[in-house]
Amino acid sequence: MAITNVSQSSVASSGAATTNKTAMAVVTTLFFVWGFLTCLNDILIPHLKAIFDLNYAEAMLVQFVFFSGYFIFAVPAGKLVEWIGYKRTMVLGLSIMAAAAFLFLPAASVPAFSWFLAALIILAIGITSLQVSANPYVSVLGPPATASSRLNLTQAFNSLGTFVAPYFGSLFILSTVAKKQSEISQMSPDVLHAYRLHEAATVKFPYLLIGVALIVLAIAIAAFKFPVIAAAEPVKHADAGTKSSLRLWKQRHLVLGVVGIFVYVGAEVAIGSFLVNYFSQPNIGAMTEKTAAVYVSFYWGFAMIGRFIGAAILQKMKAGNLLGIVAIVACALVVTSMLTFGHLAMWSIILVGLFNSVMFPSIFTLGIAGLGPLTGEGSGLLVAAIVGGAIIPVIEGALADRIGIHHAFILPVLCYIYIAFYGFRGSRQTVST
């Protein structure tokens, strides 16, 4: 989920003659940061679920408020880039994220689930600002011919963040063993409040540490002298009007691609969000939440490996064909997990991460293919579709409350079936601009 709105359609059309490796390394840290914080939600979900006695649908509000931020704030963040530029937007995004991290401290001191959700909304604003500013800047830090290669590399570091986050969360956030619901239900109000204070307190140190790190990074970005690249300067475009929008919606491959991004992000986030609870099931992994969190790292770690492998394969295979194949394999793996138990069920769902890896960039590039001057607007629609990460996990949570986690994975199965269709058929261009 590392590619975001490039409001200027020409942003990748020109750039520096050679890649500025120092600037590239500095900006790449941002990809790691937002991957890390996004994936840390997978650890927050079971922790908050246990503390506040939430059902699965309620616990998925964590992802709902977080990923809704992409839908709500992507366009304002793009306008912000036009107003203050890429560098200042990066610094502002990091500052907002730091403020959100510090808000976890009073949320844990109350403690109140609504306060945690408020902190997550603010965190989403900061991350969206980073995404909208960092991606187009990376694309012009070197020759246009290697723009996709640079973006793929930064996405790999984004995946590194998602790989590290569950292990970090297991050490700090899930450092205690949550009591069973039967024990919690017998507590008096005073004892229950004390228990919730004690459990919620485990988020204070890690998010305090994160907040400080974000401030340091913001200062470093502000102090760093980025190279002056003409193509990196945002350009305001006049509104193309209704005719432009109508032409955009006539692009069948784009419209179907918007649905593809929606269901892909939804499926990936839904699976990752349930893994800790899934692996804790007696008939699956029968392990503590802390141990289960470590295994979640493998799900995201495989995605990182898959991006490197996918970059090599895409040099010889059409993106649509590869997308269709990996979607079918991912679907088969989820079905295998649903029909089995124990380690086979665990590792089949973990391996889905490997085949998720190339889906987002493939759907994104197929969706904007051939749009010409409408590329910027088309990318905006695709970014808005990331809201699938807010909606589909909540639906799966409602299913899990009724039929259990094991069978609720039928929803990602349906998502992968659609992605396979898009790869083989739906991504074909039928209307020209």
The pLDDT of residue 92 is 96
Positions in the chain short of pLDDT 70 = 1-19, 139-140, 144-149, 151-152, 175-182, 185, 228-246, 372-377, 431-433
Between CA 323 and CA 335 the distance in angstroms is 18
The pLDDT of residue 206 is 95
Output the pTM of the full model: 0.78
- 226-230 long-range contacts, Cβ below 8 Å, gap at least 24? 226/23, 226/26, 226/86, 226/87, 226/137, 227/16, 227/20, 227/23, 227/141, 229/15, 229/16, 229/140, 229/141, 230/14
For all residues of the chain together, what is the average pLDDT? 85
The pLDDT of residue 4 is 45
Max CA pair span of the chain: 68
The pLDDT of residue 12 is 41
> The CATH number of 242-433 is which of 1.10.150.110, 1.20.1250.20, 1.10.357.10, 2.40.30.10?
1.20.1250.20
Interval 112-136: pLDDT, tens? 999 999 999 999 999 988 887 887 7
The pLDDT of residue 14 is 47
Q: Is the peptide bond before 111 cis (omega within 30 degrees of 0)?
A: yes
Residue 233: how many other CB atoms lie within 10 Å: 12
The pLDDT of residue 78 is 76
**Domain 13-226 matches domain 242-433 at the CATH topology level:** yes
Structure tokens at 66: 């977080």
Sign, CA dihedral 76-77-82-83, equals positive
| Closest to 108 measured CA to CA, from 176, 196, 44 | 196
Phi-psi region of 286 (alpha: psi -120 to 50; beta: other; left: phi over 0): left
- The CATH architecture annotation of domain 13-226 reads Up-down Bundle (1.20)
Please state the domain extents for the chain: 13-226, 242-433
Residue written as token pair 């520096």: 16
Terminal CA-to-CA distance of the chain, rounded, Å?
27
